Structure formats: structure tokens, C-alpha cells
A = this chain, B = another copy of it.
Amino acid sequence: MPVTTQIANLAGHSIIAGQQTPGEAGTTHGINPATGGELSPAYSLITEAQLAAATAAAEEAFESFKELEPEAHAAFLEQAAANVEAAGQDLISRAALETGLPEARLTGELARTTGQLRLFAAVVRQGDYRGVRIDPALPARQPVPRPDIRQRKIPLGPVAVFGASNFPLAFSTAGGDTASALAAGCPVVFKAHNAHPGTSEIVGRAIAEAARDLGLHPGVFSLIYGPGASIGQALAKDPAIKAVGFTGSRSAGTSLMATAAARPEPIPVYAEMSSINPVFLFESALRSEAGELAGAYVTSLTGSSGQLCTNPGLLFVPVGKDGDAFVVAVRHLLAQAHGATMLTPGIARSCREGIDALEGQDGVEVVARGVEGSTENAPAPMVFGTDVPTFMSNTVLQEEIFGAASLVVRYHSAAELVAAAQSMEGQLTATLLLTEEDHPVAAPLIPVLERKVGRIIANGWPTGVDVGNAIVHGGPFPATSDSRTTSVGTLAIERFLRPVAYQNIPNGLLPEPLREDNPWNLTRRVEGIISQHP
């Protein structure tokens, strides 16, 4: 299939079921956060009536998409990836302009985005997520015969996805939520983040064109621009929508959770929200490589202006001279670190407010201070310091500051670490920096962390999420709204599926994945045991 995406001109409109749709609720503009200047074109915003057309089209597309043959389904995801890839440098340039993120970072993010789509294409081809289970009939069973019972997972229905500000590609229009929902067979209505409307249009067009070129119902994907939070709330309330994917702030995420729970038919919300990602630095590791660790910490903290959900916002460092030396090294390194443009003026403002709030807390001191950036919206990176009792007694110290700000907590003992970990809210990650000598001290912490986080890392840094089959990007509330899943990696597809059982259904009426001759060559669990089809 040739790549057809043309990105020469941005139209500035929603794409509803394949159609450029001028919105009737005013306009907005992208902002260049480095200058504060408005970017062309203006983006028209849709009304709730126009939104209803998008959700109705998604509902109309559902049944054929749900039963799409795996090869065509996978080809759609691959074509979307190829179309996004073909937008290439134009896409990266636009994203850089709208977000202030460096092009090198965006180049990596683009590869991750297309890689995710292709990974889910492979998942669709492989088919295990369909969850086929067969308990064959046992007509002679006593006291009653057993009927033939077959189970498969079906997609939930149309899904609303909300783009994140901080990953304009990988957690946005064709990001992990969209990719996994489309892979599950759920049409997607994507609400663009108003911080990167042009980026969203380029990618949205790529997906819509893939659907068109492969002959799918155009309702499988819509991209909408709307005024403020109201259109998002309307989307989450729409009866056609059966699940929500969201990445963003705790306040916006919990608001969507409340909306979804209050519907006549409540629906699941997968919101990835807030995390300070504790890092535990142990004695022996500190002794052996204090300087390298200080450098790696500052790099992890300041990359992407700290605007990463797995940013190390909290670092536990032992008291004593090695810990002191580490802190001094951080101070020297950070003194040379310049703030970089943040995604939006609002995010930069919130970051400054969070820094001011932390600086004003009793028992918290400034440990290291970077340099204000030369562009707009580029606050200086900051590291604060405190001790465990202060950390445990003040919940302000557990609040995420979205940006390059972190808190070093000095600890005296393993018991203090365990107590501090137990006092924490849910997190996406926890990190252990240790040598073998530290294992006895670290071991009792692990069961505590398992209860609190989605991913435990040793001798790495939490930033950098490797998309694959084993990754978990999730965790207990408030890291996410639903700890039973992940928003990154192949397991994410399970968020959008539900099981249905078919009892004694004649073969001719069974859906293809369950038919006796297994036309899709799926792995089946027969009598509870996995049975790969020959």
C-alpha cells in the first residue's frame, strides 16, 4: 500500500469519520511555548452536536471492525504506522514548534510511536489476546451432561482517548491508548490536546487515511478539537463510548473517573495521572559510584524539562559523608543545568507554583538550583532536601511537581526506608540503586514497593519506558485509576476487551475465532490447558 499522507497544508479542523469537519464552537491556536506566539492555522472547535456525529460513526463502525479478519486488522495498524512515519521531518518540526521539545527527543518518540503500532499489529496477528477458551461438551457426564462452552474476548465498543501534553506522539493521537484500543477492535474518538493541534492533525490524518485506503468504515477513527474540558466531559458521557483512555493531571483524571462512574451505564476509565517515582540509593552503590549516580540523576531529572510521568521526583539518600558528597556533586552539576522551554505557559506556571510551595514547607531546604532558561517558560531545575520524618508528616512533599524538580530525602536506616515507602501513595515506578552488598537492606523494601508501584527498577532510572510485552506502565491510585492494567506494552490491549461465552451455539452461528476448524489459527485454552493449533 503506498503511503498517501500529505502534510503540506494543515486544515485546522476535526476529522470526523474521515471528513474534515469545520467546528462550530469558535477557534483556538497552537502556541509556541518558547516565544508565547500563536501558531497558524487556527483550529476550529466542535460543538456537542458535532461530537455526536463522531461517536455515532464510531458505533456504526464497531461491528465490522470487531470481526475484522486479523490480517486486514494488522495491515490497518501497519499502514497507520507507515503514514505517520512518512510525515517524518515535517511532523517532528511541527511537534517541536508546538511543544518546545528538542527534535532529537521527538525523533525517538516518533520511532516509539510507529513501533507501538507495529507491535500491536503483531499482537493482532498472533491473536492470543482473543482469549479463546473451549470446554467441549461432555454428553455422558453425571449427574448432568456438560454443554459445549466457548469463550472469546470481544472489544468493549467505541473508546474515547485523550491526548497527553507531554508526549505529542507516543501518548497522543496515535499513542499507546489509541494503538491498543484499535488493536482490540474498538473504534477511537480521539480528543486532541490543544497544546499540539497541528501535530495531532498530521497524525490523525495518517490514521484516517490508513482506514480509508484499507476500506474500513471511516468511523473507526475520529480526531476532534473542542473547547476546554466541556467537550471531554461530553465525550466521556456519550452512551456510545464504552471506555476512556487518558494521560494527564490528577485533577482532570479524577474528574473523568467521576463522570464515568455517574453515567447510567458506568464505564471503565484508564487514567494515568500522578507519580513522584521514588528512587532508593543504597550505601554500597553510593560508595562505589557517587559521581556517576549524581550525573545520571541530574540527566534523568532534567531531560524533557522533567516533563515525564516517570521523572525521579523523590530520591532517598543515606545520611553520612558519602551521601553528603553525592549531594554536593548534584549541586555542582545542577548549577550548570539550564531550564528548557516547557510544553505550555500553564505547565511552566504550575511548575513554578509547585516549586514555591515546596520551598515554603517547614524542614525543606534548597539543595541544588539550576539556571533559568533563556526562552519563555523555562524555569530553573530545582532539587530540595529533607529528612524522613518531615517527608512522612507532610503530604505536600508527596505531591507531584510536573517539571524538573525533585526532593532528596536523607535516611538513617532500612527501617526508615520501609516506613517512608509504606507512607506513600501509588506510583508508576520505584527504583533501587544498589550493589550486591546492599541486597539485604533492599530485600525487605521490595514487598512494600510491589504494593505501591507498577514497575520496580534496579540500577537504572525510571525515565525511559521500554515498550514491549513485559513492561508495566501503571500502578495503584493515584498513579493510575486502575492498577489492574498498563497503558504501555502489549498487555494494554486487555483494557478494551471483555469475555463472552457461547454455550451450545451451532458452529455456523459461532464467530470465526470460535469455530470448530479454527480458521484464524488461534491458540486455544482447551479444558484450561493451552493448546497451540498445529
Contacts and interface: CB of A to CB of B under 8 A. Distances in A.
Interface stretch (A222-230, A296-304, A363-371, A445-453): A445-453
Given A509-B439, A509-B442, A453 B500 contact: yes
A266 interface: yes
A530 B530 contact: yes
A49 interface: no
Nearest to A107: B143
A472 B458 contact: no
**A443, A458, A470, A500 — which one has the most chain B CB atoms within 10 A of its CB?**
A470
A261 B151 CA distance: 30
A466 B147 contact: yes
B469 A525 contact: yes
A447 B501 contact: no
A468 B149 contact: yes
Given A123-B528, A499-B472, A146 B439 contact: no
A455 B149 CA distance: 9
B266 A457 contact: no
**Copies of the protein in its oligomer:** 2
A501 B431 CA distance: 12
A221 interface: no
A477 B143 contact: no
A472 B151 contact: yes
Interface string A90-131: 000000000000000000100000000000001100101000
Nearest to A459: B504
Interface stretch (A169-177, A197-205, A209-217, A478-486): A478-486
- The secondary structure that dominates the A interface is mixed
A517 interface: no
A261 B497 CA distance: 22
B454 A500 contact: yes
Contacts of A458: 503-506, 509
A484 B498 contact: yes
Nearest to A445: B509
Given A451-B157, A471-B151, A490 B456 contact: no
A520 interface: no
Nearest to A490: B528
B151 A470 contact: yes
Contact of A135 (B135, B454, B471, B528): B471
Interface string A166-188: 00000000000000000000000
A426 B499 CA distance: 14
Given A456-B501, A457-B503, A504-B458, A134 B470 contact: yes
Given A455-B500, A501-B472, A508 B135 contact: no
B63 A135 contact: no
A454 B149 CA distance: 12
Given A63-B447, A157-B451, A503-B458, A498 B527 contact: no
Given A466-B146, A477-B265, A484 B497 contact: yes
A106 B290 CA distance: 68
A491 interface: yes
Contacts of A530: 128, 523, 530, 532
A320 interface: no
Contacts of A476: 265, 498
A500 B472 contact: yes
Contact of A144 (B151, B442, B464): B464
Contacts of A134: 470
Interface in A6-31: none
Given A442-B509, A503-B455, A481 B523 contact: no
Given A266-B477, A470-B501, A476-B498, 15 more contacts: A147-B466, A149-B471, A151-B471, A265-B425, A265-B476, A439-B506, A439-B508, A446-B511, A453-B500, A456-B500, A456-B501, A469-B528, A472-B501, A485-B498, A486-B501
20 contacts: A134-B470, A135-B466, A135-B471, A146-B466, A147-B457, A147-B466, A151-B491, A156-B483, A257-B261, A261-B261, A268-B482, A439-B509, A446-B509, A455-B500, A455-B502, A456-B501, A457-B503, A458-B506, A458-B509, A459-B504
Interface of A: 63, 66, 108, 122-123, 126, 128, 133-135, 143-144, 146-147, 149-151, 154, 156-157, 257-258, 261, 265-266, 268, 425-426, 432, 436, 439, 442-443, 446-447, 450-451, 453-460, 464, 466, 468-472, 474, 476-477, 481-486, 490-491, 497-506, 508-509, 511, 523, 525, 527-530, 532
